[in-house]
């Protein structure tokens, strides 16, 4: 179990980009970082680097599109702590930059399965751990693939071409 005074965070997609940077910064502040990663090799490399820099990090295999993986991830977190102070839903995909007029239902579904439904799955599965913390919070990083293939993170609107 983690120290009752040590803040804990689960970061989905924590093995690269914004997720890894959040893990690095929170780990440097002494937080226990549960590093969610779909890719085992990339996740292990990220966790090892964070640990070498002094972070208290636990690698959590996590594919947000899989109910089984989400359940196993939350069970693993429970092996280390009885509460979760922060959940950062960072896992996401861009969808390849297909223009809306050209996108098929299957292409849109695959993006929604990770970016929307995956976020809901992880959040729901983590609720009891979040509720056990005094002042928990759940944050999300939204990814939108804009027209003409430009990536933007954190935006809540679509930009016209």
Per-residue pLDDT of the chain (161 residues; tens, 9 = 90+): 555 578 999 999 999 999 999 999 999 999 999 999 999 999 999 999 999 999 999 999 999 999 999 999 999 999 999 999 999 999 988 777 777 788 888 888 888 899 899 999 999 999 999 999 998 888 877 554 433 343 444 433 333 33
d(CA 4, CA 94): 37
pLDDT of residue 147: 32
DSSP states of 56-100? EEEEEE--TT-HHHHHHHHHHHHHH-S--SEEEE------TT--T
The residues facing 89 across adjacent strands are 140
The pLDDT score that the predictor gives to residue 3 is 52
The pLDDT, as a whole number, for residue 150 is: 39
Pairing of strands 32-37, 8-11: parallel
Contact call for residues 86 and 61 (beta carbons, < 8 A): no
- 3-class secondary-structure state, position 152: strand
Count how many Cα atoms sit within 13 Å of the Cα of residue 150 in the half-sphere of its side chain.
9
Give the per-residue pLDDT at 16: 95
Task: Tell me the β-bridge partners of 88.
Answer: 11, 139
Question: How far is residue 56's CA from residue 78's CA, in Å, rounded to a whole number?
Answer: 16
Give pLDDT tens digits for 107-117.
888 888 998 99
Task: Report the first-to-last Cα separation within the chain, whole angstroms.
Answer: 51
pTM score, whole prediction = 0.84
Q: Tell me: the pLDDT tens digits for 97-138?
A: 777 788 888 888 888 899 899 999 999 999 999 999 998 888
């Amino acid at each position: 179990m983690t120290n009752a005074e040590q803040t804990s965070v689960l970061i989905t997609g924590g093995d690269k980009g914004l997720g890894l940077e959040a893990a690095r910064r929170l780990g440097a502040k002494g937080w226990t970082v549960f590093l969610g990663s779909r890719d085992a090799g990339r996740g292990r490399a990220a966790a090892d680097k964070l640990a070498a820099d002094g972070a208290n990090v636990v690698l959590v295999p996590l594919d947000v599109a899989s109910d089984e993986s989400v359940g196993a991830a939350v069970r693993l977190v429970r092996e280390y702590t009885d509460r979760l102070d922060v959940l950062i839903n960072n896992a996401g995909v861009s969808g390849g930059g297909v223009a809306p007029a050209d996108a098929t239902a299957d292409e849109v579904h695959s993006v929604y399965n990770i970016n929307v439904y995956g976020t809901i799955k992880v959040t729901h599965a983590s609720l009891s751990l979040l509720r056990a913390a005094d002042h928990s919070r759940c944050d999300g990083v939204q990814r939108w693939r804009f027209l003409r293939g430009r990536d933007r993170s954190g935006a809540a609107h679509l930009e016209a071409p």
